[in-house]
Amino acid sequence: MEILRKSRREAREAVLDDYPSACARFSWDEARTWLDGLPGEGGLNIAHEAVDRHATGEDGERTAIRWLGKAGARREIRYRELAELSARFANVLDALDVAHGAGVFLLAGRIPELYLAVLGALKHGAVVTPLFSAFGPEPIATRLTLGEGRVLVTTTSLYRRKVAPIRDRLESLEQVLVVRDDDQPLPEGTRELGPLLEAAPPDYAIPATDPEQPALLHFTSGTTGTPKGALHVHQAVVAHHATARFALDLRAGDVFWCTADPGWVTGTSYGIIAPLSLSATLVVDEAEFDAERWYRILDEEAVSVWYTAPTAVRMMMKGGSERARSRAYPSLRFIASVGEPLNPQAVHWGVEAFGLPIHDNWWQTETGGIMIANFASMDIRPGAMGKPLPGIEAAVMRHLPDGDVERVGHHDEEGELALRVGWPSMFRTYLHEEARYRRCFVGDWYLTGDLARRDPEGYFWFVGRADDMIKSAGHLIGPFEVESALMEHPAVAEVGVIGKPDPVIGEVVKAFVALKPGHAPDETLRRELLGFARKRLGPAVAPKEIEIQASLPRTRSGKIMRRLLKARELGLPEGDTSTLETSR
């Protein structure tokens, strides 16, 4: 099994320098002591830990957010200023008589107002829900309705295009605060946020906050039905802080860039809360993906820790490693990836392009924070999820006929990935769906719905979602394994694999492939790909059919939608796919 060895220097300098010892001595009670808590035993508030405790002394002058506008503008917000701006927003909510515990939703791109509003709403005691700004009106309406949103923060242009058409359906929505991003008249029924902030006081006494008080509501789509609202509490900041230290090797003073949109859980947990809790400088780029721009940001902004997604890595890989090597990255120390499994070749490409491997990690919307990771001090097994973080017990389970579960008996045996309950960022319920929430647990174990295996050295390997597995002639085949093999072919840019019903063997493996520029989608190449996969995977696992397409269907965050590929293959109605986004 291939291993990328760490140098002694890399292992020694990592935050988590001795994994076995750290796991043995760690406790979540100890991690709680790394944070301050509210003055006077007032409890625990995410915004206090992320901002206010850094706002005085030398840390107050450190840059908290370095914002890069898509048109070239720049803005540096220091911790002291961020504390004042978020206090102003909390005071705006007070002035509008927004109740503590009310739902505050945010629909905006990566603009400064979004970040100060998230933190200000948390100070106020609201339940915060960032929405993906690329959503259309229907998914916005669904989430605002399910979450009983009382306040919406958005821009004038987004409001006109996406909210105004559904405004009369949003019965719970009381206040719409808009940031002007055009020169048209203010939309009817909205208030301009800028003047409200200017008029609000720059200080705010955060009320006593129970650590179990609801703080964040993140929506994640299931296989069927409406989105699920996973509710998290202020205590989650303990895990955000600790896991960023361990899994991302993040430290005070680092320049950190998380490319995830704040409308998804990664963009909130690690794009806002975790780096600020560690007094790092957060790079925020308003623009959409552009490889050359990203290389420039990594270089010129002296990024030291970069957290991105496999989709973005693959898009950069298309241009070759030479483009990355045209710049120097003297400050870059650690690269991590999340969102879907990271193919082994992407790990190697990181070494070619940046001189650093890309470290995969695993978690879900429901877990609230990183659970399994390839740590900076660890040798990497390309393709593996890594090992559980200190404080996290993971196991591979088989289901028993009586509804119970037990650990699988052998290494490398596949089963459902489960986590022992008790970490601080664990979701507390699915909003209005307590029965559905309870079905996620058996005894002391949270069942993730992901299939995995554990090798003899303790590394976990992602096999697939339980509902993605392909059963062919008695073999259980994970799509990711097939996709990873085909991705190694030099002509292949993207792959999606499904099980196609077959009356004899149950399902045959079918792969849909998009090619890199310069390769002709002809029969010769299709046959070459079939042979290529068969050679690497063996006849029982390799795809029996390959269809070359110009592009593959994706969610708005870039994940290939296997379900849509299967629906098209079977001639089924595709339905509304706008809310098919899921989070690992």
* Domain ranges across the chain: 8-454, 469-570
- Is the confidence at residue 11, as pLDDT, over 70? no
Lowest mean pLDDT among 73-87, 127-141, 281-295, 324-338: 127-141
What are the φ and ψ backbone dihedral angles of 179, each rounded to 5 degrees?
A: -100, 125
Structural class in CATH, domain 469-570: alpha beta
- Is the confidence at residue 584, as pLDDT, over 90? no
Q: Which residue has the higher pLDDT, 289 or 14?
A: 289
- Is the confidence at residue 366, as pLDDT, over 90? yes
Residues sharing a CB contact under 8 Å with residue 136, sequence separation 6 or more, in sequence order: 162, 578
Is the separation of the CB atoms in 55 and 83 below 8 Å? Answer: yes
- Find the DSSP H helices in 188-235: 193-199
- Helix, strand, coil shares of the chain as percentages rounded to 5? 35, 25, 40
- Is the confidence at residue 444, as pLDDT, over 80? yes
Residues sharing a CB contact under 8 Å with residue 212, sequence separation 6 or more, in sequence order: 233, 234, 235, 428
Q: What is d(CA 351, CA 357) in angstroms, rounded to the nearest whole number?
A: 5
What does the pLDDT read at residue 523? Answer: 96
Q: What is d(CA 27, CA 192) in angstroms, rounded to the nearest whole number?
A: 46
Name residue 155's beta-bridge partners. 179
Give the pLDDT band of residue 576 (cuts 50, 70, 90). Answer: very low
What does the pLDDT read at residue 479? Answer: 87
- Is the confidence at residue 582, as pLDDT, over 50? no
**Average per-residue pLDDT in the chain?**
91
Give the pLDDT band of residue 580 (cuts 50, 70, 90). Answer: very low
What does the pLDDT read at residue 476? Answer: 62
Q: What is d(CA 107, CA 122) in angstroms, rounded to the nearest whole number?
A: 16
Extended beta strands in 437-485, E state: 441-442, 445-454, 460-465, 470-472, 475-477
Q: Which residue has the higher pLDDT, 566 or 12?
A: 566
Give the pLDDT band of residue 222 (cuts 50, 70, 90). Answer: very low
Give the pLDDT band of residue 467 (cuts 50, 70, 90). Answer: confident
Give the pLDDT band of residue 442 (cuts 50, 70, 90). Answer: very high
Q: What is d(CA 521, CA 493) in angstroms, rounded to the nearest whole number?
A: 12
With 0-12 / 13-18 / 19 or more C-beta atoms within 10 angstroms meaning exposed / middle / buried, residue 331 is middle
Q: Which CATH architecture has domain 8-454?
A: 3-Layer(aba) Sandwich (3.40)
Give the pLDDT band of residue 225 (cuts 50, 70, 90). Answer: low
What does the pLDDT read at residue 454? Answer: 97
Residue closest to 91 by CA, chosen among 199, 216, 234, 180: 199
> Residue 273, Cβ neighbours under 10 Å: how many?
28
What does the pLDDT read at residue 221? Answer: 62
| Share above pLDDT 90 across residues of the chain, in percent, rounded to a whole number | 76
What does the pLDDT read at residue 579? Answer: 33
Give the pLDDT band of residue 7 (cuts 50, 70, 90). Answer: low
Name residue 496's beta-bridge partners. 512
Residues 52-79: what's their mean pLDDT? 96
Give the pLDDT band of residue 1 (cuts 50, 70, 90). Answer: low
What are the φ and ψ backbone dihedral angles of 336, each rounded to 5 degrees?
A: -135, 160
Distance of alpha carbon 119 from the chain centroid: 19
- Is the confidence at residue 581, as pLDDT, over 60? no
